[in-house]
Amino acid sequence: MSNAPITRLPNRKAEPMTDALPGWTVVAGEPTMTTWIEYTADDGSMISGWWEASPGTWHSTYASWEFIHLIEGSAIITPDGGEPVEVGPGDAFVIEKDFVGTWEITAPIVKHFTIKLK
């Protein structure tokens, strides 16, 4: 399959995945997450899509680099042994590969993401 030169990401039209992401474990509350992968690079090196999550805290381990544009909601992201970073609507940021820490979701999140897999 070959992607078009420009691919518009639909608004959560892919099959939703509701299982916790690999490396993510609930540590407080009863948060849920839903992921829609709307794009996969032809060579499998990147994916993009949408992610939604409800309030609560996850401990996460990242195997890959991720760019995030937060559309709605807020969170406090804290690397293990590091300082917390508060993010909110409109923020764009990167989580580096091998990040280990918590996502404390303080208001329901909607985000666009791009993950570099290779």
Residue ranges of the domains in the chain?
35-116
Burial of 67 (0-12, 13-18, 19+ CB in 10 A): middle
pLDDT at 11: 81
pLDDT at 37: 94
pLDDT at 1: 61
CA–CA distance, 11 with 24 (Å, rounded to integer): 24
| Entry pTM | 0.91
**Residue 21 or residue 12, greater confidence:** 21
CA–CA distance, 30 with 62 (Å, rounded to integer): 21
Only one residue has tokens 């949408």, namely 50
Nearest Cα neighbor of 60 from 83, 34, 27 is: 27
Name which CATH class applies to 35-116: mainly beta
Structure tokens at 57: 């805290």
Q: Report the DSSP beta bridge partners of residue 42.
A: none
Burial of 46 (0-12, 13-18, 19+ CB in 10 A): middle
CA–CA distance, 8 with 79 (Å, rounded to integer): 33
In tens, the pLDDT along 48-93 reads 999 999 999 999 999 999 999 999 999 999 999 999 999 999 999 9
